[in-house]
Amino acid sequence: MTILVTGGTGFIGSHTVVELLEAGYDVVVFDNFYNSKACVVDRIKKITGKDFKFYEADMLDREALDKIFDENKIDAVIHFAGLKAVGESVKIPLRYYYNNIAGTIKLCESMSAHGCKRIVFSSSATVYGEPDHVPMQEDFPITHATNPYGETKILIERILKDLSVSDPEWSVCCLRYFNPVGAHKSGLIGEDPMGIPNNIMPRIQKVATGEWDSITVFGTDYDTPDGTCIRDYIHVTDLAQAHIAALKRAANVVGWETYNIGCGRGYSVLDIINAYERVCGHPIKREICPRRAGDIAVSYADPTRAREVLGWQAKRTIDDMCRDSYNFRIKNPKGYED
């Protein structure tokens, strides 16, 4: 089977391409390098010892999409491409709505025109907004996210659902990621956000490697055991492997499905910092700060459906996540260099 991976040099995309190649799939990748680096292509080949076709392309360019489908017999698509920074989405919502939604529509039009009607979509737990209880379950009502980025995920899920209703040949699998962290065990690929990172793991990385003096702890007055927010962190390799399970499902069923992809347990901010201290072997200085706007106190998955239907569950521990994250940064102190 040949799988097209959109946004395949990004953090989760690149780790998924590695798992696809190692599982024996033929892979075609495109990316516009808006939030990734070209060197990732060669690093994926180095990790796997396998080759794959790469196109530098933008999903808003319908001709480029058609060229990819004309030149390759694509059996299914894993769709990562999209803008993904929560804070940025609040500042430039039109850019987010246009890029993520119009881009996905163009992708689906090109897929349909070429007889490819199987898609695994990179969705997010952010679609749940601020639910009144946890763990999050797939049948929770989806109303509003807390930011335009999350809204694009909700809208794309709905668009794909309507598409599957309009044409029963479509197989759609939406994977709602919780908090992806970590890096490939080789340290050759990992999370390398542009500019100043927002997410906690790359920020702790900078403290652990001495680039920053301390990690900000946004709020210690939440209604949680230690007062800091709780999240369902999942190793990016476990997350990548969930896409293989979803592809196998999509090969056998049609219709629209969604799955929570998380570990099913939560760790607090202080838990993460303590785990990082264990793996890096030295203290990580904390700076207690006020709450960060938009944060919810507790978020973690009920991953039962993924386990029972996809036959997938996360295996890696919080220490594995921190160890692999630290290893990537030690081996790439300045991140990816062109």
Tell me which of 53, 203, 206, 265 binds ligand WQD, using CB under 6 A. 203
Stretch 249-288 residues interacting with ligand WQD (CB under 6 A): 269
Which residues are CB-contacts of 116 (< 8 A; sequence separation ≥ 6)? 4, 69, 74, 75, 76, 77
3-class secondary-structure state, position 119: strand
Q: Give the DSSP per-residue string, 12-80.
A: HHHHHHHHHHHTT-EEEEEE--SSS-THHHHHHHHHHS---EEEE--TT-HHHHHHHHHHS---EEEE-
Does residue 124 bind ligand WQD (CB under 6 A)? yes
Among the listed ranges 106-114, 210-218, 253-261, 278-286, the one in contact with ligand WQD (CB under 6 A) is 210-218
Site string for ligand WQD, 165-194 (x = CB under 6 A): ------------x-x---------------
Cβ atoms of 30 and 80 within 8 Å: the answer is no
Backbone angles phi, psi at 56, to 5 degrees: -85, 110
Closest CB to ligand WQD among 154 and 245?
154
Does residue 242 bind ligand WQD (CB under 6 A)? no
Strand segments (E) across 213-314? 215-218, 230-231, 233-235, 255-261, 267-268, 286-289
Does residue 200 bind ligand WQD (CB under 6 A)? yes
Among the listed ranges 51-59, 214-222, 308-316, 326-334, the one in contact with ligand WQD (CB under 6 A) is 214-222
Least distance (Å) from ligand WQD to the CB of residue 250?
A: 21
Does residue 117 bind ligand WQD (CB under 6 A)? no
Q: Which of 158, 139, 322, 297 is nearest to 224 (CA)?
A: 297
Cβ atoms of 171 and 238 within 8 Å: the answer is no
Residues with active-site annotation: 149
Least distance (Å) from ligand WQD to the CB of residue 57?
A: 23
Closest CB to ligand WQD among 21 and 207?
207
Does residue 214 bind ligand WQD (CB under 6 A)? no
By CB under 6 A, how many residues form the interface with ligand WQD? 19
Tell me which of 128, 218, 267, 276 binds ligand WQD, using CB under 6 A. 218
Which residues are CB-contacts of 110 (< 8 A; sequence separation ≥ 6)? 62, 65, 66, 68, 69
Closest CB to ligand WQD among 149 and 170?
149
Closest CB to ligand WQD among 167 and 226?
226
Backbone angles phi, psi at 11, to 5 degrees: -60, -60
Which residues are CB-contacts of 259 (< 8 A; sequence separation ≥ 6)? 138, 173, 174, 175, 176, 242, 246, 303, 305, 306, 309, 310
Backbone angles phi, psi at 182, to 5 degrees: 95, -160
Tell me which of 130, 271, 277, 295 binds ligand WQD, using CB under 6 A. 295
3-class secondary-structure state, position 272: helix
Tell me which of 137, 216, 274, 313 binds ligand WQD, using CB under 6 A. 216
Least distance (Å) from ligand WQD to the CB of residue 109?
A: 25
Least distance (Å) from ligand WQD to the CB of residue 181?
A: 8
Does residue 86 bind ligand WQD (CB under 6 A)? yes
CB count, 10 Å around CB of 245?
Answer: 21
Q: Is the dihedral of CA 251, 182, 235, 35 positive or negative?
A: negative
Residue whose token pair is 């319908």: 62
Among the listed ranges 37-45, 65-73, 196-204, 242-250, the one in contact with ligand WQD (CB under 6 A) is 196-204
Does residue 144 bind ligand WQD (CB under 6 A)? no
Least distance (Å) from ligand WQD to the CB of residue 142?
A: 14
Note the residues at the interface with ligand WQD (CB under 6 A): 84, 86, 124, 126, 177, 179, 198-200, 203, 215-218, 229, 231, 269, 292, 295
